[in-house]
Structure 1
């Protein structure tokens, strides 16, 4: 099996990102606030603007796209914090290290941009996602918000934060 590679997409790669995003929305509609119908209607200008707003990372092997993630600014209140969002991996590639490669690349990108923290919102009742993020050194904060995706209960999301600096919670240098 060939190696997983992760690369940033530029504005000119909007169609490749669009294809991956629409595939993600079709395959895992419950994981996203948007719907495939909404996003299929967006024109090229919208997709190009989206590419400029946040960094888009694509995981692939020689046989095609394996997953995507986005890294963007967290908020004006936290100018040194980036946010990891929109993480998706093809079902057949899950458990093969693709999500880990995407998170490592996102952390490296944020650190290279001078950020000191990387935030990742996780469903507070999603033990698998919390364990995955914790394995990277993300730590839960007191910050909560209502789930942005449809949920059968009143589950909320917790902001988990990864320190990108030199303290105990820092990203290892091999990131």
Structure 2
């Protein structure tokens, strides 16, 4: 599937909101995202504008989209920079090395199985490795223990099990498993 992979633009906040809400309507959203449709839909426009501005212009976060001919967004991934000594996004670990964390990853159903997911992941990794301050040593993500399809896709993309897992926030019965790629 042909798509342009690029960083979001500040003025695209409504499209950022729309793809996020679509992702939260996905049948596996309950194990793929740590948010709900209801919570995200209740956020004011200012929330989405600020979130998009940071992802479009900031140095510590980047949102990347896959845009099909005609302008439809087929997928999105967000990359967060994590500095040593800080707490991880899920709060269950302490950051030991400069790294990035892939979050909010979504590919629309019609684009799944086309290689687009790997293109988005590759774009997130390339941006991560391009950073010089800090120099990123690893790229990581967390995946719900029951999301076997996503785990398999990440492993095919070159991620490895790190041995780290943390409880799912608000659900101590389940775990989020860390997968990572080290700088080559």
Class of the TM-score when normalised by the shorter of the 2 chains: 0.7 to 0.9
Q: Count the aligned residue pairs.
A: 162
Please report how far the alpha carbon of residue 27 of structure 1 lies from its aligned counterpart in structure 2 after TM superposition.
2.6
The structure 1 segments of at least 4 consecutive aligned residues displaced by more than 6 Å after TM superposition are: none
* Root-mean-square deviation over aligned CA pairs: 2.2
What residue ranges of structure 2 are gaps of 5+ in the alignment? 56-60, 87-94
- Which residue of structure 2 lines up, in the alignment, with residue 32 of structure 1? 33
The one-character-per-residue Cα deviations of 1:100-123 (angstroms, maximum 9, x if unpaired) are 111011101111123221111122
Deviation at 1:155, TM superposition (A): 2.8
Decide whether the 8 Å contact of 1:67 with 1:88 is kept in 2. Answer: yes
Shift of 1:17: 0.8
1:13 alignment counterpart:
12
**Which residue is 1:127 aligned to?**
148
CA distance in 1, matches of 2:97, 2:156: 25
1:155 aligns with 2:168: no
Unaligned runs of 5+ in 1: 165-169, 171-175
Matched, 1:96 2:114: yes
- 1:137 corresponding residue in structure 2: 158
Of 88-97 and 76-85, deviating more is: 76-85
Return 53-62 or 17-26, whichever deviates more: 53-62
Q: Which residues of 2 match residues 62-73 of structure 1 at below 5 A? A: 62-63=69-70, 64-73=72-81
Could you say what secondary structure the match of 2:114 adopts?
A: coil
1:173 maps to which residue?
A: none
Residues in 2 aligned to 1:149 and 1:127: alpha-carbon distance in whole angstroms: 21
- TM-score using structure 1 length: 0.82
